[in-house]
Chain A
């Protein structure tokens, strides 16, 4: 029931933020579409912990500003690499071992690596990630330790943390 209310609140906020029409007729249509959406969610069986991830909201609020700053920093490195007269790139493939336990944390970690310019997750198998990087020096396993730790803290439930 709490998850249902959580999803209802999310789609309510989404509708209110996107429509801009607050006449009774439009609000009636909104109510009908809420009911249909919730029914479809129930049929898809996604009204669960992952469907309404409010527990992890504070973890993510702490994680994303840090990730944005990381993205800005590595953007600068890649911009310099693009514009340098002599290409000095040094591509490499590395295998990483993550401490993230749940699928959600692993996806967050892999997505963060891909979002950061200069590194792309090629493959995930179990708790091992194959990462392609533009500079070998920036792609050592130690470089990802902090991101890994922060992802685990943001997305893994407390009882599963290593």
Chain B
């Protein structure tokens, strides 16, 4: 049984680096996707939704990858503290932004938007 656990530990030590690297890479890709969304969406309120991808899954996966590759358990504890505080404060900060915009009287665009981003650019140019 002890041998089995030793083997499990060795396997985990080999596997956790590729896993952590993959999680970091996926998180970075999600951050880029969130940025694409911020650039494409039409108004302030919808852009906040795109930014929340970067906040939750992007940053979460990057930090999870760091926790998997951490050399010591102390760093895992710290990374999980960061994840917890980040998840709590990101939601609060986007709520503060949106609430400030609403209080200042910014009207959201409501209703279906089927135009592609390309056509919108052309309209702006003319």
Number of contact residues on A: which range applies? 35 or more
Check if A71 sits within 8 Å of B95, measured CB to CB.
Answer: no
Number of contact residues on B: which range applies? 35 or more
Check if B46 sits within 8 Å of A91, measured CB to CB.
Answer: yes
Check if A20 sits within 8 Å of B74, measured CB to CB.
Answer: yes
Q: A78-B37, A82-B40 are in contact. Are A17 and B77 (CB under 8 A)?
A: yes
Check if A120 sits within 8 Å of B33, measured CB to CB.
Answer: no
Separation of A87 and B33 alpha carbons in the complex (Å): 14
Separation of A75 and B30 alpha carbons in the complex (Å): 10
Separation of A117 and B34 alpha carbons in the complex (Å): 11
Check if B110 sits within 8 Å of A83, measured CB to CB.
Answer: no
A143, CB-defined interface residue at 8 Å: no
Question: Which residues 75-132 of A have a CB within 8 angstroms of B?
Answer: 75, 78-79, 81-83, 85-93, 110-112, 114-123, 130, 132
Of B45, B91, B99, B117, which is within 8 A of A91 by CB? B45
Of B48, B50, B95, which is within 8 A of A111 by CB? B95
Separation of A10 and B19 alpha carbons in the complex (Å): 31
Residues of B within 8 Å of A119, CB to CB, are 49
Question: Which residues 87-119 of B have a CB within 8 angstroms of A?
Answer: 87-88, 90-92, 94-95, 98-99, 102, 108-117
Q: A91-B108, A91-B109, A114-B95 are in contact. Are A82 and B56 (CB under 8 A)?
A: no
B33 CB, min distance to chain A CBs, angstroms: 5
Separation of A63 and B111 alpha carbons in the complex (Å): 33
Residues of A within 8 Å of B34, CB to CB, are 82
B38 CB, min distance to chain A CBs, angstroms: 9
Residues of A within 8 Å of B112, CB to CB, are 88-90
Check if A93 sits within 8 Å of B53, measured CB to CB.
Answer: no
Check if B108 sits within 8 Å of A75, measured CB to CB.
Answer: no
A134, CB-defined interface residue at 8 Å: yes
Residues of B within 8 Å of A19, CB to CB, are 74
Given contacts A88-B112, A91-B110, 4 further A-B contacts (CB under 8 A): A71-B57, A82-B34, A88-B113, A91-B46
Interface residues of A (CB under 8 A from B): 14, 17-20, 71-72, 75, 78-79, 81-83, 85-93, 110-112, 114-123, 130, 132, 134
A-B contact pairs, 16 of them (CB 8 A): A17-B74, A17-B78, A71-B57, A82-B37, A82-B40, A86-B116, A87-B117, A90-B112, A91-B110, A92-B111, A93-B108, A111-B92, A114-B92, A115-B87, A115-B91, A118-B52
Which 10 A/B pairs are nearest by Cβ-Cβ distance? A82-B37, A17-B77, A114-B91, A115-B91, A20-B74, A117-B52, A90-B112, A111-B91, A134-B49, A75-B57
